[in-house]
Amino acid sequence: MKVYLILAIFLPFVTVYLLLTISVSAQQSPYIYSCFEPGLLISPTVSFSPTLIPPPNLTTTFAPGQTLSLSPTQVISPTPMQSPTQTVSDTCRAGSKTLVKGEGICDERTNAVNLCEGNNQMVAKQNYCGTGRVCRNQTNSNQIKCEAVCQLRMGTGDIQTKADLVALAEDYKSHDEFITAVDKGVMALTKTNLGPERLGKINVWALLDLNQSYFQGFNCPTPKGSLVACWNYAKAAQYALSTCGGDIHLILNNDTHRIGSVGGIAIWGSAYIYNFAFDYPTVPHELGHAMAGLSDEYSFGIAALPGTKEGINCAPLGSSSQTTPCPKWAARFPNTGCYPRCGYTNFFRPMQKSIMDRGGANASYDFNEPSLVDGWDEVLKYFN
């Protein structure tokens, strides 16, 4: 079962990752990373062994960055366009629109359809498209379109062998608006140096449900400090897994719960990202935390306390020169250099500019070599 594979892969990383908890100010960077134990928000009654909804058999292999709809668009109850001979018994008025019997209007936030049944009778139809499907409106047409709730935006769709990343919507007004945000995140991933081989092991899904809320508040207390913002991890993880087979999830918020310049917050297995930040490398940065277990490389302005673990992409000891590798990587990564400051002021990072450093207009989209090899490759080696 996939759920056991997920636990086998990610639990060894969690033990190390949870030792890296920090509490930082929201004004330091567009990328604020405060991690806490996912279990803090998980109810004991949550089941993580749901029945997965498999995608249809695919006969074509898609390269990373290509998109695919899980199922062909289905048009419900096609009817001829209204002609002058149609009578009141065949039509309905909905605001300024005249609908023909069988046509309707989809409320994409609630997944309900107001269907014309003739004689000017509009009837509300909940879950009109059936289980695992959602209604969508069409431009210049009143016919209702039904599509799969899980829309593949990158990858092949094979949920058994790929790492499945599921994007969840919060406070978006339409599916098109949400999908546009997801596609911006995919584009940012393809700009990085993860490359086709690594990205080829990842599926990215857009879960088309606009009626969910995950945000819980700001400055949330945890046993190891304060988290700048928090969300219902248990709800998001269970929904992403049970609906689209998600190993990792991203919650995309339509800028309704912003705090200062924060573009995203990440914990292990989960990230919460604001819509305005999709013009920057926010998605791959936060996935560096949530999926590869990487640490921030910008400065928190404080030294690490004794016993603090440095993390995958940071080193506890520097070298004699910034052009000389840190002792941690000297044997394996001789060209990385060693720069003083990796989150904490007394840790060190590779000298090359990295996506795990500060964000903004001139931010790098590339991961440094230790992040790629010791972070991403260690996780993705379990997938094909």
Domain residue ranges in the chain: 2-68+155-380, 74-148
Residue 80: pLDDT over 90: no
Mean pLDDT in residue range 134-156 = 95
Give the residue carrying structure tokens 């689209």: 244
Among 262, 92, 273, which Cα is nearest to 178's?
273
Q: What is the pLDDT of residue 85?
A: 56
In CATH, the number for domain 2-68+155-380 is 3.40.390.10
Q: What is the pLDDT of residue 384?
A: 93
Q: How far apart are CA 384 and CA 375, in angstroms?
A: 17
Residue 322: pLDDT over 60: yes
pLDDT digits 0-9 by tens, 260-282: 889 999 999 999 999 999 999 99
Q: What is the pLDDT of residue 332?
A: 95
pTM of the entire structure? 0.80
Q: What is the pLDDT of residue 7?
A: 46
Q: How confident is the model at residue 88 (pLDDT cuts 50, 70, 90)?
A: confident
Q: What is the pLDDT of residue 365?
A: 95
Mean pLDDT in residue range 311-331 = 95
Residue 36: pLDDT over 70: no
Q: Which tops the pLDDT comparison, 240 or 36?
A: 240
For residue 224, CA distances in Å to 84, 89, 186, 209, 257 come to 71, 66, 33, 33, 23
Q: How confident is the model at residue 354 (pLDDT cuts 50, 70, 90)?
A: very high
